[in-house]
Amino acid sequence: MKIDLSKDQFLTLVKLLQLGNWPLGLTEANHELAEKAEDLEQYVFSLARDFEACEEIYYDHEEEYYNLSESLKETVESIIDEYEEDVFWDQLTHKLATIDLKREVHLNATIEEKINRLFQLKARYEKYFLENGLDKMDIL
């Protein structure tokens, strides 16, 4: 099978590989998959010359490894940073709301009531952090 890609499509694939491999490198959940993904990434990167993308992807002869140019790396890192920021606030508000819900939950409350209350509490925290960030938060 052969897949024809434009240079732009190839670079999009490169970015997607980086974004997909990023969480795999942070966990030991599936070491075999992480190795396979990195091998695939290096194989795709090795095709840069075919797509006239050697300015975006270069081979480090000393390390024997393909790397992204600084500008391409910054593009991928900015996507990761934005994602991590969104996840941080979502996780923080959800966890705080869950703690509050456990403190006030009634045993006879329905699951629907609990979910609705969780979303109310989460919305309260989201509003608070949107207005204040972490500046007024004290950890005991």
**What's residue 109's pLDDT?**
85
Q: What is the dihedral of CA 113, 115, 117, 120, to 10 degrees?
A: -140
Does the reported pTM lie above 0.85? no
Judge whether 92 and 129 are in contact, CB under 8 Å: yes
**What's residue 80's pLDDT?**
95
Please determine, for residue 26, whether its predicted confidence score (pLDDT) is greater than 80.
Answer: no
Q: Given pLDDT bands bounded at 50, 70 and 90, which one contains residue 104? A: confident
